[in-house]
Amino acid sequence: MSEKTLVFKEAKKEDEVLDLSKFDIQAFTDTPDFQWNLDNIKREMKEGWRLYSVGYGNETVAALFLKSDSSTLFTKNTPIKLAFQGNGFSHQIKDFYEREAGRLRLQRLVNYCPADNFRMIGLNESHGYRKTGQMVGLKKTVQEWEKIVP
């Protein structure tokens, strides 16, 4: 069986952002700090986050945000849509982050992960991330993880 490959596409146009905001809301677990809606997405983008759709075939299976400074790529993503979990897509997202950091010549990756998302915590650990000890978000429920990129 061949590997199922994801397509990552930055939402640059207003209609792309609007379409992604309407993405099957049941695919996402809203955190206490972020609810998936157009206003919150636009707020993130005004703060410098770039929005990407993660697609497989004709389906959007997740969404992610990226932001960078001179040395670090900051990342956060929604969970994989339930019907597509277990296909290795989360690993492909982590690989995408590393490729993007390399393309931008950044030495550090930071991922924001809800403190109670045990799947993402395990994924971060398996990809060589470590906790920084920083809790972020309005209610301090999101853990910061980092990885130094070789």
In tens, the pLDDT along 120-138 reads: 999 999 999 999 999 988 7
Q: How confident is the model at residue 24 (pLDDT cuts 50, 70, 90)?
A: low
Assess contact for 76 and 91: CB atoms under 8 A: no
* Strand, coil or helix: 82: helix
Give me the amino acid identity at 85. Answer: Q
Residue 133 CB partners (closer than 8 Å, separation 6+): 144
Assess contact for 145 and 77: CB atoms under 8 A: no
CA dihedral 112, 95, 62, 10 (to 10 degrees): 90
**CA 109, chain centre distance (Å):** 12
Determine the pLDDT at residue 132: 96
pTM for the complete prediction? 0.90
Does residue 54 have a pLDDT over 60?
Answer: yes
Q: Which of 112, 149, 113, 145 is nearest to 129 (CA)?
A: 145
Q: Which two tokens stand for residue 8?
A: 């990552």
Q: Which two tokens stand for residue 37?
A: 């809606």
Determine the pLDDT at residue 64: 93
Residue 36 to residue 39: CA distance in whole angstroms: 9
Query: Which helix (H) or strand (E) is 147 found in, with range?
Result: strand 142-148
Instruction: Tell the burial category of 115 from Cβ atoms under 10 Å away from its Cβ (0-12, 13-18, 19+).
Output: middle
